[in-house]
Chains A and B, each alone.
Chain A
Amino acid sequence: MSTATVAHHEEHHDHPTGIMRWLTTTNHKDIGTMYLTFSLIMFFVGGSMILGIRAELFKPGLQLMNPEFFNQLIGVHALIMIFAALMPAATGFANWMIPLQIGAPDMALPRLNNWGFWLLPPSAILLTLPFTLAMFGIGDGALATGWTFYPPLSVQGGIGVDFAIFAVHLLGISSVMGSINIIVTLFNMRAPGMTLMKMPMFAWGWLITAFLLVATIPVLAGAVTMLLTDRHFGTHFFNAAGGGDPIMFQHLFWFFGHPEVYILLLPVWGFIPQILETFSRKPMYGYKAQVYSLWAIGALAVVVWAHHFFTAGMPVPALLYFMYSTMAISLPLAVLFFCWIKTMWKGSMSFETPMLFAVGWIILFGIGGLTGLVLADVAADAQYHNSYFVVAHFHYTLFAGGIMGIMAGTYYWLPKMTGHMYSETLGKLHFWLTAISFNLTFIPQFFLGLAGMPRRIPDYALQFAEFNMISSIAAFVLGFSQLLFVYNIVSCARGGKKATDQVWEGAKGLEWTLPSPPPYHSFTEQPIIK
């Protein structure tokens, strides 16, 4: 099946050094490193924006910023965290680990890979440039519509919307290129003997993610382009006065937006079972069941989008359909949870940092999933919708389920990538600080939502004061705890105890057969899978 030629590079390959190495590199590990570094930087950019928000919401009244600026921060925070922090992190792991895990010398399309990465920094600049321009009196700042771009507000908005539209175009092109690369790599470059059903779970997670991206990003690109022409070229796609419909945008946006949630999560669902089996010293349970569940979730992802706007008004049959189809997502997810826990069950567990993050991840992501099940109910959703309940819910899925998963993966693979062990003490401290302050930040927000506090408001009524204060304090602890993460990564990259090839006692898979760090060109001889 695999037609990849046996790699025959020597160690004395020549490639440019210094900045040109990084600009021109086509090496999957270099590109992976750039993706991960970019993601980490943007995580702090997006994080500092939200700390500004939490500082403003610390107590009732306006203290730090005016409402316009507040609205800009919330939307740009979300776009950065989703498109510039979480997605690049997952792509960074894919670049690093997929060739290693399937025994390939590199990604199938290395130049496309380079281009895919180098589109990211310009789009991050496009997204944040309006903030700087506004300081010089040009335009009125960044996108102020929330990350969802809902018209007519986005048609009314200033140049920040145009900048965000182009940024999303570039990010989308980058994601589609990365996805095509991963699909081609996985279909063509697996080591001989590695059938699809022998692929590591991470590769499976990414394969489905890649298909979802290729299927849905063009819809988003189309929707924001229609928005652009509505803004500047006199079309009326989303304007009732010209025969359009503002709600149509929501359909198009969430046709992308819901699968996007799984795009962020499926790679994590891929490597978490690998972490669990490593630290439970026992093969993962239900490989096939997990693969089929991932497919089922991938398929359901594209048919449930309208549950994001039940309150926008739609016919009863549509409400019922989207409610029941959304609930159906819990079925494959229940199978996954069962398999994850069954992998731990009767293993011989030890709790190094990656395992701590993985176990914490199961619990916290479980809260995100279960509240999602409740949100699917149309009647109750009328209350939850656009309240802080939803904010808490999607941070349990995207911060706990996404970012804490990425942290688990980082600690798991860091020794492999750098060749050094990180500080286990700092890693554990980082986990406990993150887990506790995360909960203290978002549990109060569930109650704020139930009590009736809408999201995206810069100032609030007095009865919401206590919970907001707790949430703000915890958010600052959460934010500053992440400095430990950076410190740990940087000091691990610079030196430390040498890591062995296998790194973890129970680690299985091709990536652990190579030295740590792996040579510049991974497999000089193609491994054979029996």
Chain B
Amino acid sequence: MQGFRKIGLGLAAMLASLNANADYSWNFPEPATPMALDTLHVHNKFMTITAIIFFAVLAIMIYSIFAHRRSKGYKPVTDKPPSTAVEIFWTLIPFAILLLIDFVIMGIPAYHSVIMMEDTRDKATMVIKITGSQWRWQYEYMDGDAKGIKFVSNLATPKEQTEKGFSGTKDENYLLEVDNHLVLPVGEKVRVLMTATDVLHNWWVPQFGSSRVAVPGFIRETWVQVERAGTYRGQCKELCGKGHGYMPIVVDAMPMAEYKVWVAAKKEELAKAVAGANKEWTKEDLVANGKIVYEKNCAVCHQVTGAGLPPAFPALTGSKIANGPIFGADGKYLKDSHLDRVLNGVRVMPSWKAMLNDTEIASVITYERNALGNNVGDVLQPSQVKMARQ
């Protein structure tokens, strides 16, 4: 007994030491959209109904367990078996109760929720497209002022924190922080188109109540209407390979005025990037920029050092492709060259054509050829990438 008490105290101390003001949650997080609110209501109602059924049946069982036991000398009833009619009558009672619960008490609100959830178009004032890729999200604004804004959102938790054996303090939003937040205006119904480039993903922000699988080659849709300004976090929830736990979602909801300011700033930033693609870059700038792009996008498989994780993810250090020629005699890029691989991908290597802009592709290729233990010495200019795309 003493031993048990010690173990118990140890466990209690361990739990208490975790985080004194830990935010225990016993239910869905606070809803931020009409859909999440509806889901919460439906969930609470159904949970209450099932809890009532459970405890009522449990009470009957417990009564029976204590009353009808042999150790108390209870004799089993020895009536002859009930007639078929009596048996049918009795067994139809639970059947009827469940019929009422399933198709009236639960069935009717469930019907309305489904209709609401699937109505993605009525009163929708803007459209965004979300593309899932291993292991990042890409957001694209499809209409209105923001049309043309398109960016990739990567995990921003420092890599060392996620590595094996890290023992320091983790960030507050560990694994739930990204570099580029999706920004949505408050109160607007946003129609969300969803697709993927490689495998299935699922875009899920618990406080929004909607989740939909992103299927490569198909467009699925859902909607969000964020009612309160704030930052909302979620995660991919369809197993999508080794980085499945590392593709979070962060959404900033802003009042319309602030959102407009954000749109204007973002457009300017994108215009600068386009301008950057036309200028001539130095090797140093490309390598420096390439290191950032590489560590954000490539290091998850090819590793920060370029050593890769063979056999699935080959090393870049000393790789034939990263050290081979890019362009042929005709000035066109060669098949299976470094640029071909990055633009078009092969097997598990994704195509980066849509995910990275010209400057980023030129930087990362220049970086890979002149760092990570490689020393080819050549430079790939953004303008060459732009040409190669055509």
Contacts and interface: CB of A to CB of B under 8 A. Distances in A.
A246 B215 contact: yes
6 cross-chain pairs, A with B, having the tightest CB-CB distances, nearest first: A240-B217, A379-B113, A457-B245, A452-B206, A454-B237, A334-B94
Contacts of A347: 68, 74, 76-77
Contacts of A348: 68-70, 74-76
A385 B237 contact: yes
Given A152-B199, A382-B210, A454 B162 contact: no
A145 B242 contact: no
Interface string A340-352: 0110111111110
Contact of A344 (B68, B175, B234): B68
Contact of A373 (B46, B220, B240): B46
A281 interface: yes
Given A363-B58, A377-B106, 16 more contacts: A62-B164, A140-B311, A246-B216, A288-B84, A311-B202, A311-B213, A312-B213, A312-B215, A323-B110, A374-B43, A378-B114, A379-B42, A382-B209, A383-B43, A469-B15, A473-B11
B41 to A, nearest CB: 10
A156 B61 contact: no
Interface string B169-185: 01011111000000000
9 contacts: A139-B311, A286-B91, A316-B114, A344-B61, A374-B50, A377-B106, A456-B244, A459-B175, A460-B245
Contacts of B200: 150, 152-153, 246
A39 interface: no
A466 B15 contact: yes
B308 to A, nearest CB: 12
B211 interface: yes
Given A240-B218, A373-B102, A379-B117, A61 B162 contact: yes
A379 B239 contact: no
B16 to A, nearest CB: 10
Nearest to A243: B217
Interface stretch (B19-27, B282-290, B332-340, B372-380): B19-27
Interface in B17-73: 18-19, 22-29, 35, 38-39, 42-43, 46-47, 50, 53-54, 57-58, 60-61, 64-65, 68-71
Interface stretch (A66-74, A103-111, A405-413): A66-74
A70 to B, nearest CB: 8
Contacts, number: 303
A313 B213 contact: yes
Contacts of B236: 454
Interface stretch (A188-196, A325-333, A422-430): A325-333
A359 interface: yes
Interface in A436-473: 447, 450-452, 454-463, 465-466, 469-470, 473
A316 B245 contact: no
B347 interface: yes
A37 interface: no
Contact of B174 (A359, A462, A466): A462
Contact of A62 (B70, B113, B163, B213): B163
A288 to B, nearest CB: 7
Interface in A333-388: 334-335, 337-339, 341-342, 344-351, 359, 362-363, 366-367, 370-371, 373-374, 377-380, 382-383, 385-387
A449 to B, nearest CB: 10
Contact of B27 (A387, A450, A462): A450
B270 interface: no
A280 interface: yes
Contacts of B311: 139-140, 158
A459 B243 CA distance: 10
A335 B87 CA distance: 11
A432 interface: no
A324 B107 contact: yes
B76 to A, nearest CB: 4
A359 B68 contact: no
Given A379-B110, A461-B173, A153 B68 contact: no
Interface string A120-147: 0000000000000000000110001110
Contacts of B64: 341, 344-346, 349
A359 B65 contact: yes
Nearest to B75: A348
A282 B244 CA distance: 53
B368 to A, nearest CB: 23
B118 interface: yes
A93 B90 CA distance: 32
Nearest to A137: B311
A345 B241 contact: no
Nearest to A453: B235
Interface in A250-290: 280-283, 285-286, 288-289
Nearest to B27: A450
Interface string A213-250: 00000000000000000000000000111000111000
Interface in B222-250: 234-246
A466 B22 contact: yes
A320 interface: yes
A371 B69 CA distance: 30
B275 interface: no
Nearest to A292: B91
A312 B114 CA distance: 14
A63 interface: yes
Interface string B295-325: 0000000000000010110000000000000
B170 A60 contact: yes
A50 to B, nearest CB: 16
Given A153-B240, A335-B94, A350 B70 contact: yes
B360 interface: no
A462 B242 contact: no
Given A63-B165, A462-B172, A386 B237 contact: yes
A385 B170 CA distance: 28
Contact of A289 (B39, B65, B91): B91
B97 interface: yes
Contacts of A378: 110, 113-114, 117
Contact of B198 (A60, A152, A247): A152
A63 B53 CA distance: 42
Interface in A10-49: none
Most chain A CB inside 10 Å of its own CB: which residue of B39, B110, B117, B243: B110
A146 B43 CA distance: 27
Contacts of B238: 150, 386
A286 B211 contact: no
B174 A60 contact: yes
A345 B68 contact: yes
A475 interface: no
A452 B29 contact: yes
A332 B98 CA distance: 9
Contacts of A62: 162-166
Interface in B90-107: 90-91, 93-95, 97-99, 101-103, 106-107
B98 A331 contact: yes
Given A328-B102, A346-B76, A378-B110, A386 B57 contact: no
B204 A454 contact: yes
A351 B61 CA distance: 14
A330 B199 CA distance: 35
A480 interface: no
Nearest to B172: A462
B102 A331 contact: yes
Interface in A459-517: 459-463, 465-466, 469-470, 473
A387 B114 CA distance: 20
Most chain A CB inside 10 Å of its own CB: which residue of B27, B161, B163, B213: B213
Contacts of A373: 46, 50, 102, 106
B242 A67 contact: yes
Contact of B18 (A240, A288, A465): A465
Contacts of A370: 50, 53-54
A239 B199 CA distance: 10
Contacts of B81: 283
